[in-house]
Amino acid sequence: MTLYVLRTLAKMALTLLTIITLVFFAARLSGSPLDTFLGDGLTEEDRALMIEYFGLERSVWHQYIAYLRGILDGNFGLSFMERRPVAEIVAERIGPSLQLLGSAIALTLAVSVPLGVVAALWRDSWVGSAVMALAFTGYAVPNFVIATFMVLIFAFVLNWLPVVGNGTALHFIMPTIAMSGVLIAALTRFTRNAMLDVLGQDFMRTARAKGLPETVVILKHGLRNAGVTVLSVLGLQIAGMAAAGNVVIEAIFSWPGIGELLVSAAIIRDYPVLQFGVIAVAFAVVTINALTDIAYVIADPRIRMAKG
């Protein structure tokens, strides 16, 4: 068990190191960052000053080691654009991103778990088909299309909701719904399939044979067991999808979060910000995956025994 946890953590560290290395060298592969970022309008003195400022005069290996060392100290370099530490810029953005992510995940759970259970229970009737058709729609329509049409209808035609920023509770409605679309579609499918698996198990028949009311059988014996699978999916798959959706939705609604920061950094080629963004998100996803793995092993004695 301890060995398994250690192995998971070691693998996680190795994955992160590889990502950091790739991201660092990819940036250097495309030439001097100063040339692509600042172009021709730079005098020799300015250039020399900038090279010194960003530590670009040493060899690539020196820079790599310095970058790694900096990361250990929590120093991820300076933004080309704002000329201040990347970590500081990102820190200001984490709050709004987490708020949006949190409300999207809350909405996703609140909608897709009941829908998934309903779709499993009434699998052969029109109710099940309708839910699955809805889930399919959420999967097939890109979230920027959902967002654009919501803005058209609720902001411009009806004038009900604000579009830009995160000032009030009303500002949360459209970004949350647009971001949840694909997540709800995915989690509804998973919940339905997990419930279908559980419904066929022997312990469900036993619970019914004991004379328990159907709601107790479904909720306590069914959903609780399906819930383990659903939660692990939420950890493993939804984390990545949410991080990606975050980028698009924040850019559309000018949400002052990490996603919006990364898109504008990509457009103006502010590499240090982008590098840190990719590393930070990879860190979050890898950590969530590792924790989910470990929690799964702890929760399920069959896997715990098998993996020692």
Partner 1 sequence: MTATTHIPSRVGVFGSFWRDANAVQKAAALIGVTLVLMAVLAQAIAPYDPLQQSLISRLRPPQGFERHKPGFLLGTDELGRDVLSRSLFGLQLTLGLALAGACLGLLIGGTLGLLAGLRRGWAEDVTMAAVDLQIAVPFTLLALLILALFGTSLTVMVCVLGIAGWEQYARIVRAEVRKITELPFIEAARASGGGQRYVALTHVLPNIVSPLVVQFTLSFSNIVILESTLSFLGLGVQPPTATLGTMVGYGRDYMPTAPWLVIAPAALIVLITFSVQILGDWLRDRADVRLRVR
Which residues lie near partner 1 (CB under 8 A)?
Answer: 15, 18-19, 22-23, 26-27, 29-30, 136, 139-142, 144-145, 148-149, 151-152, 156, 237, 240-241, 243-244, 247-248, 251, 262-263, 265-267, 269, 271, 274-275, 277-278, 281-282, 285-286, 289
Based on CB atoms, which residue is closest to partner 1, 136 or 203?
Answer: 136
| Beta carbon of residue 113, minimum distance to partner 1 (angstroms, whole number) | 20
| Beta carbon of residue 255, minimum distance to partner 1 (angstroms, whole number) | 14
Q: Are 235 and 289 in contact (CB under 8 A)?
A: yes
CA-based angle 137:139:145, to the nearest 5? Answer: 80
Residue 79 CB-density burial (10 A; 0-12 exposed, 13-18 middle, 19+ buried): buried
Rounded distance between C-alpha atoms, residue 265 and residue 278, angstroms: 12
Based on CB atoms, which residue is closest to partner 1, 29 or 169?
Answer: 29
List all residues 6 or more positions away from 105 whose beta carbon is below 8 Å from its beta carbon. 183, 234, 238, 242
Which residues are registered as beta bridge partners of 95?
A: none
Based on CB atoms, which residue is closest to partner 1, 218 or 282?
Answer: 282
| Beta carbon of residue 2, minimum distance to partner 1 (angstroms, whole number) | 23
Rounded distance between C-alpha atoms, residue 66 and residue 64, angstroms: 5
| Beta carbon of residue 126, minimum distance to partner 1 (angstroms, whole number) | 14
Task: Kindly state the tokens that stand for 171.
Answer: 């500002």
Q: Are 167 and 253 in contact (CB under 8 A)?
A: no
Based on CB atoms, which residue is closest to partner 1, 87 or 273?
Answer: 273
Based on CB atoms, which residue is closest to partner 1, 19 or 66?
Answer: 19
| Beta carbon of residue 282, minimum distance to partner 1 (angstroms, whole number) | 5
